[in-house]
C-alpha cells in the first residue's frame, strides 16, 4: 500500500510541476517548488528508494524558504549562504549514498547513479539563487533533465514529473523570452 501511495505522490508532483514554470513571480515558483520537493521526498521514501534524492529534496525545501525570506526582505543571499547550501547538497547527497539500503562504501554503479541527484540539486541551488526568472528557468531545465534520467532508471513515477518539468520549462522559456 505504501508503494502505491508513494507513486500517487509522484503523480501529484507531476501535476504541480507542469504549472510551476508558468508562474510569473519568483515567490510563487519557490512556494510550489517546496510542495513538489516534499511530494518527491515522500515518493522516494514510500517506494523504498531512500538515498541521496530524499536528503536533497529536504535541503531544497530549506533553501527555497531561505531564498523567499531574502526576497521578501530585499536582501541579497550572501556568499557564505551559497557555500553552505553547496556543502549541504554535496554532503547530504553523499550521505544518501552511504545510507541507502543495500549500498556499501565502494565504487559501484549504484553509488555512481546516486551522484545524479547531487548534480541535479546543484542546478536547483543555482536556480533558486538566480536573480531573474529566465535564468531560474534555465537552471530548472538542467535540473529536470538530470532528474528525468535518474527517475527513469530507478523506476519512479516521479519520472513523469521530471519529464513534464523539462517540457513545461522549455515552453515557459519560450513564452517569456526577450524579444
Cβ contacts of 97-106, under 8 Å, gap ≥ 24: 97/51, 97/52, 99/50, 99/51, 100/49, 100/50, 100/51, 100/52, 101/48, 101/50, 103/51
Q: Angle at CA 139, nearest 5°, toward 134 and 143? A: 140
133-154 pLDDT, tens digit per residue, is: 889 889 989 999 998 998 898 8
pLDDT above 60: residue 112: yes
Going by pLDDT thresholds of 50, 70 and 90, the confidence category of residue 115 is: confident
12-61 pLDDT, tens digit per residue, is: 988 888 888 788 888 898 999 899 999 989 998 898 877 777 888 899 89
Cβ 16 vs Cβ 35: under 8 Å: yes
Domain count of the fold of the chain: 1
85-104 pLDDT, tens digit per residue, is: 989 988 887 776 665 555 44
pLDDT above 80: residue 73: yes
Residues 157, 73: Cα–Cα separation, whole Å: 37
Check the CA dihedral 104-107-110-115 and report its sign. Answer: positive
Q: Which residue has the cell 549504484?
A: 110
Residues 166, 17: Cα–Cα separation, whole Å: 9
Question: Which structural domain, as residue segments, surrounds residue 47?
Answer: 2-175
What is the DSSP annotation of 18-78?
A: HHGGG-SSHHHHHHHHHHHHHHHHHHHHHTT--SHHHHHHHHHHHHHHHHHHHHHHTPPPP
Amino acid at each position: 500500500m505504501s508503494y502505491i501511495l508513494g507513486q500517487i505522490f509522484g503523480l501529484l508532483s507531476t501535476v504541480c510541476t507542469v504549472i510551476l514554470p508558468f508562474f510569473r513571480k519568483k515567490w510563487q515558483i519557490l512556494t510550489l517548488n517546496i510542495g513538489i520537493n516534499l511530494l518527491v521526498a515522500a515518493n522516494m521514501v514510500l517506494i523504498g528508494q531512500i538515498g541521496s534524492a530524499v536528503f536533497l529534496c529536504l535541503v531544497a525545501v530549506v533553501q527555497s524558504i531561505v531564498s523567499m525570506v531574502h526576497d521578501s526582505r530585499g536582501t541579497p543571499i550572501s556568499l557564505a549562504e551559497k557555500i553552505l547550501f553547496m556543502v549541504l547538497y554535496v554532503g547530504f547527497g553523499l550521505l544518501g549514498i552511504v545510507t541507502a539500503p543495500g549500498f556499501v562504501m565502494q565504487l559501484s554503479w549504484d553509488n555512481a547513479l546516486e551522484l545524479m541527484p547531487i548534480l541535479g540539486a546543484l542546478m536547483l541551488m543555482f536556480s533558486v539563487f538566480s536573480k531573474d526568472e529566465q535564468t531560474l528557468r534555465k537552471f530548472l531545465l538542467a535540473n529536470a533533465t538530470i532528474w528525468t534520467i535518474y527517475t527513469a532508471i530507478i523506476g519512479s513515477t516521479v519520472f513523469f514529473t521530471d519529464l513534464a518539468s523539462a517540457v513545461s520549462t522549455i515552453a515557459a522559456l519560450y513564452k517569456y523570452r526577450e524579444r
